[in-house]
Amino acid sequence: MPPRRRRSATCPSSPSSGSPRGGSSGTAVALPSQVAIRRVRDLEIDEDLAFEGRERRVERIGLALLVALVIAAALGLLGSGPLSHTTTRTDGLTVDYQRFSRYQTSETLTLRLDAGAIEASEVRVWVDRGYLDGVRLESVVPPPVRVEGASDRVVLVFAVAEPERPLSVTLTLQPDRIGRLHGRAGLEDRAGVSGVAFRQLVFP
């Protein structure tokens, strides 16, 4: 009679459990609601992974905006700087100014007169009164020998020792108004010349 074969005993597989074993540390099990339970030593801590992902994205966007703001300020897009400084000119007169300014922060407005625009021992330069009403004038260099007023402008009269040489007049001022400032400047004795216009944007 042939010998009987012995059947090998099979152990039943244990069912998988959704909760981590107590001995495993630092493991996380994702639940359908995207909430994980992290076991740290003897504590169970709930984590919202979707919320944490959104929070990290918001932090990265905020950091990028902060860096862009710092760069813009350094370049002069929020005040004085290389991208803010600009020049405009008309017949015989050039105006150097800042396109972007800061409220109640000192800056300069420079009027440069060509040598050909100076024909006498005095030169008369005017600045739009509406513009001057929106700023606080701190100083004028060189100082004018006199100042004359009109309904729409203020005329600065300067003595000229050497008429054949160009003249630069620097106005130090503080914008006293937030928003747009519109200005105009010119030579008083130039008939038919309306002067040169310039615009500034004043930030708080």
Structure tokens at 79: 């005040």
Please tell me the distance from the alpha carbon of residue 55 to that of residue 64, in angstroms, as a whole number. Answer: 14
Q: What is the pLDDT of residue 24?
A: 45
Give per-residue pLDDT as tens, 170-188: 999 999 999 999 999 999 8
Give the CATH fold of the 85-203 domain: Immunoglobulin-like (2.60.40)
The secondary structure of residue 64, as a DSSP letter, is: H
Contact, 170 vs 180, CB < 8 A? no
The secondary structure of residue 57, as a DSSP letter, is: H
Q: What is the pLDDT of residue 14?
A: 46
Please tell me the distance from the alpha carbon of residue 158 to that of residue 163, in angstroms, as a whole number. Answer: 11
Domains in the chain: boundaries:
28-75, 85-203
Q: What is the pLDDT of residue 140?
A: 97
In terms of DSSP bridges, do strands 28-30 and 35-40 run parallel, antiparallel, or are they unpaired? antiparallel
Q: What is the pLDDT of residue 83?
A: 75
Which residue stretches of the chain have pLDDT < 70?
1-49, 64, 66-82, 190-193
Please tell me the distance from the alpha carbon of residue 113 to that of residue 198, in angstroms, as a whole number. Answer: 16
